[in-house]
Structure 1
Amino acid sequence: MSTLIIEAFYGGSHKQLVDLLQEEIQDCVLYTLPAKKWHWRARTSALYFSQNVPVSDNYRILFASSVLNLTELTALRPDLGKLKKVLYFHENQLVYPVQKYQERDFQYGYNQILSCLVADVVVFNSAFNMESFLTSIGKFMKLIPDHRPKNLESIIRPKCQVLYFPIRFPDVSRFMPEHKMTHFKKIFDHKGNEDDTPLMPLPFQQKNRVTESLMKNSHLNLESGLCEVQSGPHTTQQDSLSNPLTKVEDLNKTHPSKNSNPGQEEDKQHMSLNLCNILSVTNEQQRPLHIVWPHRWLEAVYCGCYPLCPKDLVYPEIFPAEYLYSTPEQLFKRLQNFCKRPDIIRKHLYKGEMARFSWAALRGKFRSLLTTEPREDL
């Protein structure tokens, strides 16, 4: 049994998903087009793939994103039309933002509706994405002057399901605060990991040893109130501040001076550690708050960021209510308070779920999606 994966826009999250599927799912064959000129990919990629995907009796499943016009492809290649066809929506063209409603090209949304009609399974990366698409079909089709098709939502809906975009969370234990790492580890362990794949490869005992080693090799910068790590003779304060991902192996290269008295070095280390502990509380309040606009929220929160999102679109589906705002005024007020007390953010432990978005949690669902029983006509 073989899975044919076709991606007409091979870049960004589209690339990330199909690369993961090809790596993790057995017997996958991948055909792609570069991630540029999106509009032309949506218009013409079906014809290209119809000519460039070899005919094979081994294909059983066809997986494609909604950029591809699945209707055209299956019409041009009847052999592919016989497969179990899975269509994955990263976004949908019925509600995708445009500057003016008149600028929305009817053809792109229409193509996606047609693709859903010929697909066997239609998968969305969120419930918001699914519902916004399905509930917009009726209004969208009213743009047709006359002889409009009917009941399309009721035909398509039974095929639809939500399957969140899977994330292989990286090992961030090198630079995450210990209390947050411990909290996240408890969350993932509590939710379970179906194949026991470690989400944080660096063991916590090793992490503790690394932290201890880091502190032993740290030098106190009294002017800034920060415990700066010097990884070599050419490391400056600016380098340390601008590179929070200083490699552990570099930290371990730091050794006491050969000409120094061991007893004096030990006293300096103890003094440095004690001063760091004393200043740590003040440090949390004095250090400025960094505000970022992450392209990927699910990953930003995992790396320790505090999410502050609009109470709209997909955000209420992902984040608990305390992380949402309703108006610009609410956003301003919360940011103002956080800037006054950045220690609140640094000490905060995220209260939402992250394990459900991990590849470890979603692997089984994707594998089930990409398997099928042999049919008589295959």
Structure 2
Amino acid sequence: MSVLLIEPFYGGSHKQLMDLLQEELQEDCVLCTLPAKKWHWKARTSALYFMQTVPTSSNYRFMPEHKLARLEKVIGVKRNGDAYQSEGLPGQQESRAVMKTIDAHPESGLCEPQPGLCTTQHEGLPSPAAAPVQAEAPERTNPCQGEDKQHLTFNLSNILSGLDYQQRPLHIAWPHRWEHDKDPETFFKVLMKLKEQDLPFHVSVLGETFSEIPDIFSEAREVLGSSVLHWGYLPSKDDYFRALCTADVVISTAKHEFFGVAMIEAVHCGCYPLCPKALVYPEIFPAEYLYSTPEQLFKRLQNFCKRPDIVRRHLYKGETAGFSWAALGSKFRSLLAAEPREDL
């Protein structure tokens, strides 16, 4: 039995999960993706795109008989041996038109077994030679272009060397995509207010950047000046985790979050989390790590800047072990290897 993985936003934590599943499940995997950009359009239209492009195979069609019968009546699906071909699916032309506005190149979709991982071929699936070109990498820009090279490389150890650990200023990390749904405006306005009051702190602004970067980033980079330890995406996972391990506090100001992998990773690296009292965060973090307003976030950071030792002595009161692959791997395997049931 094969496992079909579909990911319309193949980047960041989405890509991390897909790659982990492919590597760890030890199954025959087929991964279909689209580039990690234009999230809102992908949410609206990717189902139509994949409906037309995912290769038909009896190796992973888990749909029960009663749902197949209903599907035949609704969209005219016809049986063809063990596979199913669709004819005249509604929205077909509309989907093609919309997807062309999303990705200028039709080959940007990936639908093939990934080389070096699970590469077993199946009847009816495209071979690597005939498969579409792999999904294009997310567009990244270098927000530090033209600046001193020390901001382009990971140099936290050099900056912090020679300073007594307890005497260092509070180190704040923001490890999120540089996009509006992560609300960088609120985050930077709080930091600028700390700067206005001459409170000592360092900040590392991490996370992926894309073709469009909110204006607040360039404004904040100038205002924060020497408070910046690192500014920009770290492609090396080791460097990324090293940055989190040197930080004291990790902040989320997100307006849109289904889980928050970056926050869990930072807590695992010893950071004190401060998250909105909204979205998924109250389900994961104890109440003392939540704030309701930007003013509350500012007051918490104000106190931490004055007494960073309080944060550094703190032991996290939540639990992160339950989110590890060691805890969840068997559950994923059981779920994806399950026999088809009538309640699916």
**TM-score, normalized by length of structure 1?**
0.40
Of structures 1 and 2, the larger Rg is shown by 1
**TM-score, normalized by length of structure 2?**
0.44
